[in-house]
C-alpha cells in the first residue's frame, strides 16, 4: 500500500522530476553545452533554469565553478532568443557575487541597454549595474541619464532603482543624476514616479532645507501613485517629527488630506503617521475612525494593520482608543491569531470595569 502511494506521488510530481536529484557536477558538465554553436535556445534555457534553481536552493559553488559557469553563459549572448537572454541576465546577477572577472560582459550588456529591444534594455541595465564598479560606472553614466528619462517605464524604473542601489556605494556619482530623476517624478507611470522620488529624496537626505523644499512642492503636486504618496507622507512625517513647532502644520495638513485618498494603502499610511505625530486626542479623531473601519474589514491584513496601530496608541492616548472598544471586542475571536492577540492586549490596557462584564 505504501509503495503504491509513493508511486502515485511520484506520478503527480511528473513535471517536477527533472528538478529532482540535481547535482552540481552534472550541471557543470551540462554548462559546457553552452559553448556549442549554433545555440539551441530551448535546451540552453532548460540548463540555465536548472542552474538558477540549484543556486536558489542554496547550493554552494566554489569561485572556480561559478567562474566556469559564468564564462560558459557569456557564449549565449550570440542567441537572440528573448527568454534565453533574460535568463542570462538573471544568472549574471546570481553569479556576479560568486564568480571572478564578471566585468567581461560589460560591453555586451552596454550594447543591449542601448539597443532597440525594450525587453532587453530594462533587464540589461539592472544586470549591468550589479556588476559594474565605480570606475566602470563613469563610462556608462551618459546612458544611465538617458535611461532615467526614457519613455519606456520599465527602462526608466530599472535605471532609477539601479541608481538607488548604487547610491549606497557611489553617492557622489548618483547625485549628478538628480536632475533627470526630478523630471521623472512627474511621470504618468506610478512606479517610475515612486522610484524617482526615492532617488531625489535620497540624494538630499542630509540637506534638510532642500528636503523641506521638495516635500512642500510635491505635497501640492497631483501625485497619483499610491506608493509615491506613501513615501512622501513618510518624509513629511519625518520633517514634522524633527521640528514639532508651528512650522510642521502644513505637513500635518497634507498628511491629513491623504486620509481621504481612495487607495487603502495611502489612507493607512496617513493614519499611521497622524497617530504617531498628533499630540492631543481631539486631533486624532479622524485617523482613529479610519483605523476603526479597518478593524471591521473582511481582509485580515487590514484588520491587523488597524488593530496594531491602535495597540501602539494605547500607551500614549488610552482615551482615544477607548472609542474603538466595541470594534476591538469583536476581534477577540478573530480567526487570525495575531489579530486576536493584539485585540486582547489592547483591551487589557484600556479596559475599564464596564467592559469586563461583557
Chain residues that interact with another protein, rule: CB under 8 A: 12-16, 18-19, 45, 48-49, 52-53, 56-58, 81-83, 86-87, 90, 93, 119, 122-123, 126, 153-154, 157-158, 161-162, 164-165, 190-191, 194-195, 198, 201, 227, 230-231, 234-235, 237-238, 241, 264-265, 268-269, 272-273, 276-277, 299-302, 304-305, 308, 312, 335-338
Cis peptide before 38 (omega within 30 of 0): yes
Minimum CB–partner distance for residue 353 and another protein (Å): 30
Among residues 70 and 194, whose Cβ is nearest to another protein? 194
Minimum CB–partner distance for residue 198 and another protein (Å): 5
Query: The C-alpha cell of 127 is what?
Result: 544586470
Minimum CB–partner distance for residue 250 and another protein (Å): 17
Among residues 52 and 170, whose Cβ is nearest to another protein? 52
d(CA 249, CA 351): 33
Minimum CB–partner distance for residue 269 and another protein (Å): 6
d(CA 291, CA 275): 10
Among residues 18 and 332, whose Cβ is nearest to another protein? 18
CB 313 within 8 A of CB 295: no
Cβ burial, residue 296 (10 Å; 0-12/13-18/19+)? middle
Among residues 23 and 353, whose Cβ is nearest to another protein? 23
What is the distance, to the nearest Å, from the Cα of residue 343 to the centroid of all Cα atoms in its chain?
Answer: 29
Main-chain phi, psi angles of 101, to 5 degrees? 55, 40
Minimum CB–partner distance for residue 326 and another protein (Å): 22
Residues 6+ apart with CB under 8 A from 351: 325
Minimum CB–partner distance for residue 83 and another protein (Å): 5
Among residues 105 and 166, whose Cβ is nearest to another protein? 166
Among residues 132 and 162, whose Cβ is nearest to another protein? 162
CB 181 within 8 A of CB 198: no
Residues 6+ apart with CB under 8 A from 48: 73, 76, 84, 87, 88, 91
Minimum CB–partner distance for residue 19 and another protein (Å): 6
Minimum CB–partner distance for residue 315 and another protein (Å): 9
Other Cβ atoms less than 10 A from the Cβ of 254: the count is 21
DSSP secondary structure string, 34-94? Answer: GGSSS--HHHHHHHHHHHHHHHHTT----HHHHHHHHHHHHGGGG---HHHHHHHHHHHHH
d(CA 177, CA 138): 12
Among residues 318 and 355, whose Cβ is nearest to another protein? 318
Among residues 70 and 227, whose Cβ is nearest to another protein? 227
Amino acid at each position: 500500500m505504501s509503495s503504491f502511494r509513493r508511486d502515485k506521488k511520484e506520478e503527480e510530481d511528473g513535471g517536477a522530476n527533472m528538478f529532482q536529484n540535481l547535482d552540481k557536477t552534472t550541471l557543470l558538465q551540462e554548462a559546457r553545452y553552452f559553448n556549442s554553436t549554433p545555440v539551441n535556445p530551448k535546451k540552453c534555457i532548460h540548463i540555465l533554469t536548472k542552474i538558477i534553481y540549484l543556486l536558489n536552493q542554496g547550493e554552494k559553488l566554489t569561485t572556480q565553478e561559478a567562474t566556469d559557469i559564468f564564462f560558459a553563459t557569456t557564449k549565449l549572448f550570440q542567441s537572440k532568443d528573448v527568454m534565453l537572454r533574460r535568463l542570462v541576465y538573471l544568472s549574471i546577477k546570481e553569479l556576479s557575487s560568486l564568480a571572478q572577472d564578471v566585468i567581461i560582459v560589460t560591453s555586451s550588456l552596454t550594447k543591449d541597454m542601448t539597443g532597440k529591444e525594450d525587453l532587453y534594455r530594462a533587464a540589461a541595465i539592472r544586470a549591468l549595474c550589479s556588476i559594474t564598479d565605480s570606475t566602470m560606472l563613469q563610462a556608462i553614466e551618459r546612458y544611465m541619464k538617458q535611461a532615467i528619462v526614457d519613455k519606456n517605464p520599465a527602462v526608466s524604473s530599472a535605471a532609477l532603482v539601479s541608481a538607488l542601489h548604487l547610491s549606497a556605494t557611489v553617492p557622489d556619482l548618483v547625485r549628478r543624476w538628480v536632475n533627470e530623476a526630478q523630471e521623472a517624478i512627474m511621470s504618468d507611470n506610478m512606479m517610475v514616479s515612486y522610484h524617482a522620488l526615492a532617488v531625489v529624496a535620497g540624494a538630499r537626505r542630509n540637506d534638510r532645507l532642500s528636503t523641506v523644499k521638495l516635500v512642500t512642492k510635491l505635497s501640492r503636486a497631483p501625485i497619483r501613485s499610491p506608493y509615491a504618496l506613501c513615501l512622501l507622507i513618510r518624509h513629511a512625517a519625518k520633517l514634522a517629527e524633527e521640528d514639532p513647532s508651528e512650522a510642521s502644520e502644513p505637513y500635518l495638513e497634507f498628511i491629513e488630506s491623504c486620509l481621504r485618498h481612495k487607495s487603502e494603502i495611502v489612507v493607512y499610511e496617513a493614519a499611521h503617521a497622524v497617530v504617531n505625530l498628533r499630540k492631543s486626542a481631539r486631533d486624532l479623531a479622524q485617523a482613529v475612525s479610519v483605523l476603526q473601519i479597518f478593524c471591521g474589514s473582511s481582509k485580515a491584513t487590514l484588520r491587523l494593520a488597524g488593530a496594531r496601530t491602535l495597540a501602539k496608541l494605547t500607551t500614549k492616548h488610552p482615551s482615544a482608543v477607548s472609542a474603538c472598544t466595541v470594534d476591538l471586542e469583536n476581534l477577540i475571536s478573530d480567526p487570525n491569531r495575531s489579530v486576536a492577540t493584539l485585540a486582547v492586549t489592547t483591551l487589557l490596557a484600556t479596559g475599564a470595569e464596564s467592559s469586563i462584564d461583557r
